[in-house]
Amino acid sequence: MTRTRTRTRTAAWAAVIAVALAASVVLSLAVGANGLHPGLLLDTLAGGGTDESRFVLRDQRVPRTLLALAVGVGLGGAGALMQALTRNPLADPGILGVNAGAAAAVAGAVVLLGVTDPAGQAPFAYAGALVLTVLVVALGTAGRGRADPVRLTLAGIAVGAVLSGITTGVTLTHPDAFERMLGWSAGTLLGRDLALLAPVLPLLAVGALLAVAVAPALDAVALGDDTARSQGVSLARTRLVTIAAITLLAGTATALAGPVSFVGLMIPHVVRWAVGVGHRRVVVGSMAAAPVLVLLADVVGRVVAPPGEMPVGIVTAFVGAPVLIALVRRSRRVSGL
């Protein structure tokens, strides 16, 4: 594919993602138990509407939509970076246990330290994400010097399962913690306050900038360690920056919504198919496209089980599990990894 055709294809798909994102935002603002028809939605956005529509939009839909956008950026970017760093098409913050590490750290903070404020739990989510990312990468590369996809996946699933079991056991034996962790542990945007976004938004922005900055080096790493070294790429620095970006992106998403799996798995594959294997395009495209999936999953969760709601993490699991099975069957033929 020539450079001109690549740019044209990238621009076309960027427009598609932009339209899909705008439509998803509108759906997120309009759909729910108290639906807002287009006329009422526009009137309310313009400052009119009814008292009820203003309350629903200002206090429920807008915060939830903004949180979903941030969660999508975090999960999409983290998934793309993990697949690039590990050269593993099955890499995802959920599958490799990063979400479980963040959840375990938050559960420990609630039980041992009495941290009940969501903003106060955010540092523990980042710490848990960092520890698990480093641990899984270390286990996956032990004795070989390079990431082995099967070992990474098995290490992530095993460590994640152990931590999930510990988290469940801790919360079940502490009723207060169980009450606070019940919805969060399934991955939900319900009841999350917009005030939670302000302290973590700068960290999300730093993670996104690091992800874009390190992407060209990951192009060289994808060709092999020796080739990367011959091109002057510092493997240690590249891995360090990538792990830092993954920690900030995945940690932010988990701090905001709890562990939401499969978004970081699916979206990079779709983006790679659409715009090619260049990591800068894949990373940026994933951070732009993943919010579409999170928003739509949240909208579906609002309407499938009235009068209650289904957590966004459960909806993405329904979609993502078949995708994971398909990727496992064809993982050796996945291009660009």
Q: How far apart are the C-alpha atoms of 134 and 138, rounded to whole Å?
A: 6
- Global pTM reads 0.87
| Residue 320 forms part of a structural domain | no
Average pLDDT over residues 223-247: 86
Give the highest mean pLDDT range of 147-161, 235-249, 313-327: 235-249
| Residue 299 forms part of a structural domain | yes
**Which tens digits make up the pLDDT trace of 64-120?**
999 999 999 999 999 999 899 888 787 888 777 888 888 888 888 888 887 877 778
Average pLDDT over residues 299-310: 85
| Residue 102 forms part of a structural domain | yes
| Residue 331 forms part of a structural domain | no
Q: How far apart are the C-alpha atoms of 26 and 30, rounded to whole Å?
A: 6
| Residue 284 forms part of a structural domain | yes
Query: What type of residue is 227?
Result: T
| Residue 325 forms part of a structural domain | no
277 — pLDDT class (breaks 50, 70, 90): confident
| Residue 13 forms part of a structural domain | yes
Q: How far apart are the C-alpha atoms of 295 and 279, rounded to whole Å?
A: 24
Domain harbouring 268, CATH code: 1.10.3470.10
Residue 243 domain boundaries: 3-314
Give the highest mean pLDDT range of 42-56, 63-77, 131-145, 317-331: 63-77
**Which tens digits make up the pLDDT trace of 170-226?**
878 877 777 667 667 778 888 777 888 888 899 999 999 999 999 999 998 888 778
| Residue 279 forms part of a structural domain | yes
Number of domains in the chain: 1
Backbone angles phi, psi at 42, to 5 degrees: -65, -40
**How crowded is residue 37: how many other Cβ atoms within 10 Å of its Cβ?**
10
